[in-house]
Amino acid sequence: MSHRGVFIDEVVLDLQYVPRELLHRDEEFRFLTGLFKFILDTPYEMSQRVVIVGDVGSGKTVMAQRFGLNLMEEAKKRRVKAKYIHVNCREVRGSLFMVIQRALRVFRPTFPDRGYSSNEVLDTMMRVLDEDEQQLVLCLDEVDALIEKEGGDALYNLTRVQEERIEGARRLSIICISKNPEVFKDLDRSTLSTLQRNVIRMSQYTNMQLSDILTSRSKLAFKPGAVSPEIIDFVGELASREHGDARYAIDLLWRSGKYSDTAYAKEVLPEHVRKAAATLFPVLKPEEIRRLNRHEQLVLLGIARHFRHSNEPHATTGEVELSYQVVCEEYGEKPRGHTQFWKYLNTLSSLDAVTTKLYASEKGRTQRVSLDKIPSEELEREVTRILE
């Protein structure tokens, strides 16, 4: 019987996927939705500017996209004309012309590539919105690229074009997304005051919140039993160390599933997660292993050996120390004492080769060791080669 893999629907783990519900962003999402309530309740009477800021992977883009999809769904039900258009400014090389052109082509697909200035394209878009009796929420993702290339004039023109139309319907609202709030400080005072009225700050996801997000996605993406709660927690721990980056967490879970399929496994194992992590971040380099003293290398080999034979993401320090002692016997070395072993472990931890963390247990507080970003097989092979 052929192996069919661990996935049901990989699309759920695609970084472009927009879930129906956003976990742990209820308050921010309600606030964003409330700011644009006028589009449905009193159309054409207002326009809005909103700034969303937060670290990479804090949910800025997906929240804006879910808001946009919900807005258009509700507008359709109420027979109100409203469109949400999402443009990544870095993808269009920070060009205001290309930002407006991309938005305009949603309404006029044959609009030409060249022959217009950015201001002319902006005027054309406003005229088209009038002709179609449309309201537009234009989301400028990674707006940093637009400001870096064109300065404050681009945002000034976008925020002021509606205000210059003293009479007539209000048609254009703007959402700006940035991971760096400092980028707005160089704007002129009037533009800055306009944008600063509504700022939504996205905090980093905690370890527990990342686990909730991963659990929700894994139920849709994987076959039952293919991803254990321990694997979810393991991936969540790694992502929480990368500033709570949910994009990294989701991508890591997907890659782990692909390595599981490659190995013809029925479930995702810690070694698959380590292999996936190694493709996303640089691993411990051979020259760094060579710089370790012999017993530090033996401890590292002991850790690699332990995890190669274990399907658990973590080990106790007792298990790791026992593995170190076995390796010492193999290489004809006398194991160092417990205190010295601890120093070796701390050295490896400082190099990011392994991770150590205190956990509460029934017996009190205990130290656990994990091998996160290096596949145990590769590590064992490299350390063995260097030792020999």
- How would residue 114 be classed by pLDDT, with cut points 50, 70 and 90? confident
Q: What digits encode the pLDDT tens for the residues 230-256?
A: 999 999 999 988 888 999 999 999 999
Q: Taking all residues of the chain, what is their mean pLDDT, rounded to a whole number?
A: 90
- How would residue 364 be classed by pLDDT, with cut points 50, 70 and 90? low
| Domains recognised in the chain with CATH numbers | 26-202 (3.40.50.300), 206-280 (1.10.8.60), 286-387 (1.10.10.10)
Cα–Cα distance, 364 to 34 (Å, whole number):
48
Q: What digits encode the pLDDT tens for the residues 223-236?
A: 999 999 999 999 99
pTM (2 decimals)?
0.80
Query: What's the pLDDT score for residue 1?
Result: 42
Pick from 111-120, 212-221, 300-309: least confident: 111-120
Query: What's the pLDDT score for residue 346?
Result: 86
Query: What's the pLDDT score for residue 349?
Result: 85
Residue of 103, 89, 84 lying closest to 154 (CA atoms): 89
Pick from 42-51, 114-123, 189-198, 324-333: least confident: 189-198
- How would residue 361 be classed by pLDDT, with cut points 50, 70 and 90? low
The average pLDDT across 205-209 equals 94
98: pLDDT strictly greater than 70 = yes
3: pLDDT strictly greater than 60 = no
- How would residue 131 be classed by pLDDT, with cut points 50, 70 and 90? very high
Query: What's the pLDDT score for residue 195?
Result: 80
SS3 233: helix
62: pLDDT strictly greater than 90 = yes
Query: What's the pLDDT score for residue 360?
Result: 67
* CB distance 217 to 23 below 8 Å: no
The average pLDDT across 338-358 equals 86
* CB distance 323 to 306 below 8 Å: yes
The average pLDDT across 90-98 equals 91
Query: What's the pLDDT score for residue 353?
Result: 78
The average pLDDT across 107-126 equals 89
Residues of the chain with pLDDT > 70, as a percent, come to 97
- How would residue 347 be classed by pLDDT, with cut points 50, 70 and 90? confident
Q: First-to-last CA distance in the chain?
A: 42
Query: What's the pLDDT score for residue 362?
Result: 65
Q: Classify strands 355-361 and 83-88 as parallel, antiparallel or unpaired.
A: unpaired
Query: What's the pLDDT score for residue 55?
Result: 92
Q: What digits encode the pLDDT tens for the residues 16-39?
A: 999 999 999 999 999 999 999 999
388: pLDDT strictly greater than 90 = no
- How would residue 363 be classed by pLDDT, with cut points 50, 70 and 90? low
Residues 6+ apart with CB under 8 A from 264: 3
Residue of 310, 289, 286 lying closest to 299 (CA atoms): 289
* CB distance 11 to 18 below 8 Å: no
The average pLDDT across 74-97 equals 95
SS3 95: coil
Cα–Cα distance, 139 to 106 (Å, whole number):
14
Residue whose structure tokens are 């920070």: 94
Cα–Cα distance, 132 to 366 (Å, whole number):
66
